[in-house]
Structure 1
């Protein structure tokens, strides 16, 4: 992906253009000022006025633009305002302050808007585009927009395993131990799925190949599928470099195209890209592909069930800019879509994900100049910084969770 510096209109049209509606902006201003007065934040406005009860600093640099974006598209506008530089955190856009600001808001997300206006939410929010709902052709395009950005981009902030999901820490963490924590996460999933010598393993969602390589090193025969051309190319090269090409088959395919029978199936943080209307299809595919006596291990990011229901049909900032077509299930939604499968074990990695994201964020900020040299502009940088901080805040506030579920057939 090649970008240019500044707010290039062709690349970032909704960041470059400020919405025109002053009426919506005035209403958003009123709601925003009302909400922040009672939050444990310090909201600084031009001229030195401060609001909030004290806490991490949010600086609103261009209130008029900020409120009009907020009024026009709610949380999408809130994110676009950050991308445009209408607001920042800390004295110099400090990333730790950004996480702290977003954590305060995530902890109080359901109370920021008055109940009377919350009932009108569905009339005001944007609907998810029809081409992002999870059909096969949609999913290919959605995957391409995120995972095919650039292998070099992801290599700058991920660890040597190129693993892009929650790690599993057994103690105090540092950047030097993230790779080991990622391997610990993978090994637990493989153990739960009972992967060993001779196991026929299907992995849905290859990533950049680390899980497939570790499974093959155990003696498993691995079939792994991805829709990302970039991931397929690097995972294929890694398998060849490791001398495991004879044990690892990497397919550029949708999970709905897979056939065969497998002793074990593993899928790590892939259900989030399936789309809510296709969750039954996903779990039915898992059940049909699983050999008798087999096990499934999946890792899934979840959100509270009531919030999931409230956002099922809405278009969010994350969907618009980061993961088009993405939708997080609740634990209840997972359980209700299992068909003849059942959960035999579960483990939360919520705190582990917050730590993983902190390390990714720190690494990203350390490497921002190298990332810029790849062709990513300042708006992309602010977008990606917000994405990592927003995600970390979701786990720190306990609004988000992530689970390893082990599944088997009902007896």
Structure 2
């Protein structure tokens, strides 16, 4: 039976940071199914880990029979959202924006299609209405509803204004108006009454709620989700390195799987509730076990398997599990070609070798040793493994049997240092 109280479900999962007019919202949910929207600006060619909770929250609404609208902010991506950014966002060209938008639309559709939930799903672009609007119309018809005083007092704006070295551009300052107008158009055209976003979007969502109230005299609602934070206190997003993308061509399913396997023990049960569709009773059962270390490890496996399957599908998750089994439990026999492809992509350090068949030279080129002399000593010390088999011969030459699928050899130094040779 469909759970009529989606709000209770989200609260139990820790997925609500703020919700406007909860009592009124619950009354509406008891009367009818609603349309809910979430927006993503196409500032890259893939969504990332920071977008996953909004996707999951939307999926929960859909499982409860509500209709989803995703808005790809093609227009707003050309402006840049200043929300809690320390400096102006680097803006992309229209050419890149269009390419990014196409990929993100496809990614959203595939996420729900993969989970057999692509019905009742609409994906739009806000360029549909902004490209038809001129500046004077926008300022006279929409701008008049916004107070500069209240806009300046938004926390995300105040922080930027106080930064003498950065400040805030007028284009970024006006971003809140554009997002508010998005909500208004979706309410008028599609009957959307709820916007979902990260907690850093509270100010923008509130602006949309107020604009709709002033223009139409109607009530709509906003729901924000807690941000997924890194250990350094920053939210997950695009970084110069270390971004966890939802596109397996940018972050392999194996690396994605490993991210969840390696989450902090302190976060594991919270993440199981937020990121999976496991029953709370099953999660409570894990949490209540006495053997903490054993059951935390099992819980991490359950988390990694569920989230990887959700994002990348069962086949790629099974591949990630096979690679993990091989790397950490020394059982290379079951690995398939697709597994080595993922390892080569971003799983472990990789080196390309053409003509050399000398183990010592391979150890140097792979970075597992700093010199041939050190390589020789490591072999003599029984510290070197070729495809998980200990190699003691300092003059060892690779042969055809070492080249799995005629292309790959796994080198290991000690217990944890790996390199994949690609022939």
Task: Give yes or no for TM over 0.5.
Answer: no
The higher-RCO structure (CA 8 Å, 6+ apart) is 1
TM score, norm. by length of structure 2: 0.24
- Bigger radius of gyration: 2
